[in-house]
Structure 1
Amino acid sequence: MTDAPAPQVLRSMDDVYGDGFDDEEVEAALDESLSPRGQNQLLFDLVAGTGLPPGSAVLDVGAREGHYAFELSRRFGFRVRGVEPVRRHLDNAARDLAALAVEEPEVAARVRIDEGVAEKLTDPDGSVDLIWCRDVLVHVEDLETVFGEFRRVLKPGGRAVVYQMTATEWLSPAEAAFMWPPAGIHATSLDPQRIEAAITAAGLGVEQCIQLNGETRERLEEDGVHASSKQLLWVSRMLRNRAAYEERFGTVAYEYMLTNCLWGVYQMIGKLNPRIYVLSAGDL
């Protein structure tokens, strides 16, 4: 976990620029990779670790356009139902599922994407082997109801793999107040204490909690994707040229893109800390 900022001692100029350390030696050490893991592979490895057989019932909560539902069917042979509230995502998922039915009919036959919300799942009690929920619950205020629904639909011994962003003490209240409303994000749903209290209240157990900090962002940089460095460049341009971008794309698009770019940058500098929870449902 990223430590909270500590009060700093004002150092003398001699402390800072004297012979205390060799800049080049420190820089060389920082150039050495820490072998960061990639986010998606880590998530899929956790799914594989559940040992669920092909044909298991999987619920993708917040399926967006179906990408992960398709991949869960392809990799593991699962029967996957996705639920998604946004009409544009549902329309795109239907289009992509139709294309998949032509290219990989067996994969597509195991997938369906329905309209729905995390707070009110339509699945019967105890009918789901695994819940996949990737980076969506920041948009949901009532986490207690969501995790209660997870507990209800999971079979005894079922699992949920939940990727959830959390805020650290490095993120100031002013930054949160500026960033979250334009992206439809509830500040309380990034509070790790509240998240874990809601999990516990629902009767779910935390089997694993993996705190990633900037690890998966490092992986993207080292792989040459440069997602975070590109977003940092975009933030600078948006701040310097706001009026032109707002005139061209509108305020909603501008403010959302600014938050989206800071979302990546802030993981790299310790203000945001994504976590992966592997949750378990005990016997009913």
Structure 2
Amino acid sequence: MTGLPTPRVMRSIDDVYGDPFDDEEFDAALNESLAPRNLNRLLFDLVAGTGLPPGSIALDVGARDGRHSFELSRRFGFVVRGVEPVRRNLDNAARDLAAFAVAEPEAAARVRVEEGVAEKLTDPTGSVDLIWCRDVLVHVADLETVFGEFRRVLKPGGRALVYQMTATDWLTPAEAAFMWPPAGIHAASLDPQRFEAAILGAGLVIEQCIQLHGEARERLEEDGVAVSSKQLLQVSRMLRNRAAYEERFGTVAYEYMLTDCLWGVYQMIGKLNPRIYLLSA
């Protein structure tokens, strides 16, 4: 989706209800899968496609609880350093890394998760083979500094795999102003033009840009996980029962949960478009 649709011609009632197209056939076509890809598989396949050997140095920026750091070590034999600014996530990562060490000691020995921020990486210049950054840069205002740091720490020819949510023209400024502050999201960081300008301005090359639209969400629905369906139902309940939820959980929690649920729904209806960028230094 590249923008708003062109203005429509107003149809008459006779045109609308007298149109001979077969709506049942159209409905049947819409019930046929478009074979949506699994997001995790797609991301790890892109890593595999880089051809980086075991022992390569990977940096997981915004590692959260470390789950992707663990998987990069397990799947590829990478030595992985995760950086994460949130204390709760760091505590969870430490707990899960301890459990990982019991189950898979060799893979766990290659992983550490430490406190840090994307804007000020402590890695030496030219020391990293791969940067993994999944769904975190919406929380960062200074994209130019982040991508400058990515460029600095990557080895010549090193790669960065960045998963980023972007807004489409269907998302209005009023919606953005309403939705993003409760979740700590910077509206400007969802602008794909600004995002790509920050990448290129840092001297990185965009090798691939995969626009997913609602594909990953379709896959979850078809697999029976039904995250987006559940979120749509929850949005309706939250809008009809706001006072009760606010009284029980507080306004801050209510506003965050509303944004979190709409995050998924908006991917399905074209207001948000997640993108995967494969970059090279």
Aligned to 2:21: 21
Which residue does 2:246 correspond to in 1? Answer: 246
In structure 2, what residue type is equivalent to 1:107? Answer: A
* One-letter code aligned to 1:188: A
Map 1:12-51 onto structure 2 (within 5 A).
12-51=12-51
Structure 2 unaligned residues grouped into runs of 5+: none
1:195-239, CA deviations, whole angstroms, 9 ceiling, x for partnerless residues? Answer: 000001000000000000000000000000001000000000011
Matching residue of 2:263: 263
Two-structure CA RMSD over aligned residues (Å): 0.8
Q: CA deviation at 1:246?
A: 1.2
Which AA in structure 1 matches 2:206?
V
Quote how far apart the aligned CAs of 1:5 are. Answer: 2.7
Residue matched to 1:120: 120
CA–CA separation in structure 2 for the residues paired with 1:4 and 1:52 = 41
Give the whole-Å Cα distance in 2 for the aligned partners of 1:53 and 1:155.
14
1:75 matched residue in structure 2:
75
**1:234-271, Cα deviation, whole Å (9 max, x unpaired):** 00001111111111111111111100110000000000
Stretch of structure 1 that moved more, 101-110 or 148-157: 101-110
Distance across 2 between alignment mates of 1:66 and 1:58: 13
Equivalent position of 1:156 in the other structure: 156
Q: Distance in 1 between matches of 2:21 and 2:3?
A: 24
How far apart in 2 are the matches of 1:196 and 1:19? 44
Q: Secondary structure at the match of 2:245?
A: helix
User: How many equivalent residue pairs?
Assistant: 281
Provide the residue aligned with 2:130 in structure 1. 130
**Equivalent in the alignment of 1:195:** 195
Asked if structure 2 preserves the Cα contact closer than 8 Å seen for 1:93 and 1:113, the reply is: yes
Partner of 2:273: 273
Percentage of pairs with the same residue: 84
Give 1:6 shift: 2.2
- Take 2:184 and 2:171, find their aligned partners in 1: how far apart are those partners? 18
Q: Does 1:60 align with 2:60?
A: yes
User: Per the alignment, in what secondary structure is the counterpart of residue 166 of structure 1?
Assistant: strand
Greater shift in the superposed pair: 236-245 or 4-13: 4-13
Q: CA–CA distance in 2 between the matches of 1:19 and 1:257?
A: 42
- The two structures have a TM-score, normalised by structure 1, of 0.98
Gapped regions of structure 1 (runs ≥ 5): none
3-state DSSP class of the match of 1:118? coil
1:15: Cα distance to partner? 1.5
Separation in 2, partners of 1:48, 1:87: 31
Residue by residue over 1:74-105, the C-alpha shift from the partner in whole angstroms, topping out at 9 and shown as x without a partner, is 11111000000000000000000011111110
Instruction: Please state whether the residue corresponding to 1:274 is helix, strand or coil.
Output: strand
Is contact 1:5–1:170 with CA below 8 Å preserved after alignment? no
Aligned counterparts of 2:5 and 2:253: Cα–Cα separation in 1: 33
Helix, strand or coil: the match of 1:122?
coil
Contact 1:5 1:169 in 2 (8 A): no
1:215 counterpart = 2:203 = no
Please state how far the C-alpha of 1:9 moved relative to its aligned partner: 1.5
For 1:15 and 1:43, the matched residues in 2 are separated by 46
Normalised by the length of structure 2, the TM-score is 0.99
Amino acid at match of 2:244: A
After superposing on structure 2, the runs of 4+ consecutive aligned residues of structure 1 that deviate more than 6 Å are none
Q: Are residues 216 and 75 of structure 1, via their aligned partners in 2, closer, same or farther at CA, if it must alter by over 3 Å?
A: same
Local SS of the residue matching 1:16 = helix
Give the match for residue 204 of structure 1: 204
Task: Quote the Cα distance in structure 2 between the aligned partners of 1:240 and 1:46.
Answer: 43
Residues 148-202 of structure 1 show CA distances to partners (whole Å, capped at 9, x for unaligned) of: 0000000000000000000000001110000000000000000000000000100
- Separation in 2, partners of 1:85, 1:174: 30
Q: Distance in 1 between matches of 2:5 and 2:221?
A: 25
Aligned ranges for residues 140-151 of structure 1 at < 5 Å?
Answer: 140-151=140-151
Secondary structure of 2:149's match?
helix
Shift of 1:38: 1.1
Residue 2 of structure 1 and its aligned partner are, at CA, apart by 4.5
